[in-house]
Amino acid sequence: MAQSVVVQVGQCGNQIGCRFWDLALREHAAVNKKGIYDEALCSFFRNVDPRSGDDGADISKGKICSLKARALLIDMEEGVVNEILQGPLRDVFDSKQLITDVSGSGNNWAVGHKMYGCQYRERIVEKLRKTAEHCDCLQCFFVIHSMGGGTGSGLGTFVLNVLEEEFPEVYRFVTSIYPSREDDVITSPYNSVLAMKELSEHADCVLPIENESLFDIVSKINQMTKCGKLGSSVKQASLVTSSGMKTTKEKPFDAMNNIVANLLLNLTSSARFEGSLNMDLNEITMNLVPFPRLHYLVSSLTPLYTLADVHVPSRKLDQMFSDAFSKDHQLIRADPKHCLYLACALLVRGNVHVSDLRRNIERLKPALNFVSWNQEGWKTGLCSVPPVGHSHSLLALANNTCVKSTFLELKERFMKLYKKKAHLHHYLHTDGMEQSCFSEALSSLSDLIDDYNQLDVMSCGPAVDPPRLKIAM
């Protein structure tokens, strides 16, 4: 089985990353009762003998000795990482997997990307290589970061460039958290747009997630819990509340981070567990990215709200598929149903059959608008191991033009600042940062939006089949 490495950058990236590692360990613990280090664990964890000295020799078979996450933790302040090192996950990371500084990036993309990038490049490369050396078949990097701040957006996208240079053949999946409209970081539109250019050019696949959507989902769940709709029926291990930290005090972002961690959990489940119907990670980019830049996938997770609903199983199962296409299950604020699908993947976990997939695709298809050349643009994967405490779950990934609404809004907020050249000087102070960086980032974003627009426009026109090749008989 191939291996993946997670690179978590900045405060947000590290918090989500840690939720991911925690949940992943729980999942494996639930399945792997005997404590054997198997192929499944090997995909995201090393098994290390801590007594064997400095670097800890890898143990490839037998009992679990000490699990180390295949991860690199990067932050330009110490707070979050230190907290992790004192928390329950401290044994999963060691000091060789960390890169920290003390002064932070001051919510400035240029500081993260240009200054720290330059300063830490060698250390980043060295640690990435070390991590890669522990893999016998490295398939994927997962970068987790936020778009609004300085470190996540700046240094996070710098790391992405480094990955492309150093490991051109390893896939780069990026989970990017987009800032809210009322973000308290005034410069977040700058940071996001500057980061967008890097994502468009250097990622194989980006999963954009809007903070506001996460917030909406969490408040809806809280509301439902309060008015007793879910009441006592909410399972301990439900998708959103499975932090397992009930005993300690829950932090405000924990629930939101958990949703993203669950997205990653489902995305990687077929890489982490065996199964002949599993979807390989490289199949996702192959099937969902028809054009190199249009690699932004809108994701939705189900079940999300009614976790312990007691319905007839098959109805419940079909409901799960319907929900994945509803507006309030999307992790960005957009409505894929009313926009154009270029392609769509359904990653199902649990006791679900191929026939269930076929039935639901047939059922849902008429209501969805697929681009003319990809009328059968479905990709499916089945992982037999469900999330802990569930019978099944679904992650839908859509390459859908609705994603452009997020980009349009971002551009608008960027323009508001950029027209007045507000705060620009903070950026231009940094070595290597020039005004052209802003104009290029802006035009990159505009081009991207244009690409989606063109697809939308073409889909409104009459579908004309291209004339086939003529053969002289």
Partner 1 sequence: MSIITIQLGQCGNQVGREVFQAIATDLHSTHGLCSKKENDAYQAASKERFFSEEKTGVPAARAVLVDMEPKVIGQTLSVALRSGSWKYDHQSHFCQKQGSGNNWANGYCIHGPKHKEAIMNLVQKEAEKCDRLSGFLTLLSMAGGTGSGLGAFVIVQNYNSVLTLSHLYQTSDALLVHENDAIHKICAQLMNIKQISFQDVNQVIAHQLGSIFQPAYSSDSAVQYSRSPLGDLMEALVPHPEFKMLGLRNIPQMSENSLAFSTFAWPGLLKHLRQMLIANAKMEEGIDWQVRPPLPGLPLPQKQSPNRTAHFNTSIANLITLRGKDVQTADLGGFRDPALYTSWLSAQEALAIWKTPRAFNKYEKSASLVSNSQCLLKPIDAVVSKAWKMFASKAYVHQYTKFGIEEEDFLDCFSTLEQVIASYSSL
C-alpha–C-alpha distance, residues 321 and 364, integer Å: 8
Judged by CB under 8 A, does residue 377 bind partner 1?
A: yes
Judged by CB under 8 A, does residue 246 bind partner 1?
A: no
Q: Among residues 123, 353, 363, 421, which is the contact residue for partner 1, using CB under 8 A?
A: 353
Judged by CB under 8 A, does residue 289 bind partner 1?
A: yes
Q: Which stretch binds partner 1 (CB under 8 A): 84-92, 113-121, 274-282, 328-336?
A: 274-282
| Continuous H helices in 273-339 | 281-288, 313-323
CB of 234 closer than 8 Å to CB of 324:
no
Interface positions, 134-153, toward partner 1 (CB under 8 A): 136-137, 139
Residue closer to partner 1 by CB (options 125, 277) is: 277
Residue closer to partner 1 by CB (options 225, 374) is: 374
Looking from the CA of 415 toward its CB, the CA atoms found within 13 Å total 9
Q: Among residues 107, 108, 211, 380, which is the contact residue for partner 1, using CB under 8 A?
A: 380
Q: Which stretch binds partner 1 (CB under 8 A): 13-21, 233-241, 316-324, 371-379?
A: 371-379
Q: How far is the CB of 341 from partner 1 (least distance, A)?
A: 11
Give the other-Cβ count within 10 Å of 352's Cβ. Answer: 24
Residue closer to partner 1 by CB (options 83, 283) is: 283
Q: How many residues does the chain have?
A: 473
Interface positions, 14-33, toward partner 1 (CB under 8 A): none
- Show the tokens assigned to 441: 């980032």
Judged by CB under 8 A, does residue 60 bind partner 1?
A: no
Q: Among residues 102, 312, 460, 469, which is the contact residue for partner 1, using CB under 8 A?
A: 469
H or E, element range at 8? strand 3-9
Judged by CB under 8 A, does residue 378 bind partner 1?
A: yes
Judged by CB under 8 A, does residue 468 bind partner 1?
A: yes
Q: Write the interaction track for partner 1 spanning residues 298-337; mark x where CB under 8 A is met and - where it is not.
A: ----------------------------------------
Q: How far is the CB of 204 from partner 1 (least distance, A)?
A: 10
- Show the tokens assigned to 124: 């980043």
Q: Choose among 402, 410, 398: nearest CA to 195.
A: 410
Q: How far is the CB of 361 from partner 1 (least distance, A)?
A: 8
Judged by CB under 8 A, does residue 290 bind partner 1?
A: yes
Q: Among residues 343, 348, 397, 441, which is the contact residue for partner 1, using CB under 8 A?
A: 343
Q: How far is the CB of 173 from partner 1 (least distance, A)?
A: 13
3-state secondary structure 380-412: EEEECCCCCCCCEEEEEEEEEHHHHHHHHHHHH
Judged by CB under 8 A, does residue 425 bind partner 1?
A: no
DSSP 193-248: HHHHHHHHHH-SEEEEEEHHHHHHHHHHHHHHHHTTSSGGGS-TT-TTTTT--SSS
C-alpha–C-alpha distance, residues 50 and 205, integer Å: 35
C-alpha–C-alpha distance, residues 285 and 295, integer Å: 8
Beta bridge partners of 176: 145, 208
Count of residues of this chain found to bind partner 1 when the rule CB under 8 A is applied: 45
- Show the tokens assigned to 401: 């033009």
Contact set with partner 1 (CB under 8 A): 1-2, 136-137, 139, 274-278, 280, 282-283, 285-292, 342-343, 353-355, 357, 361, 371-380, 465-466, 468-471, 473
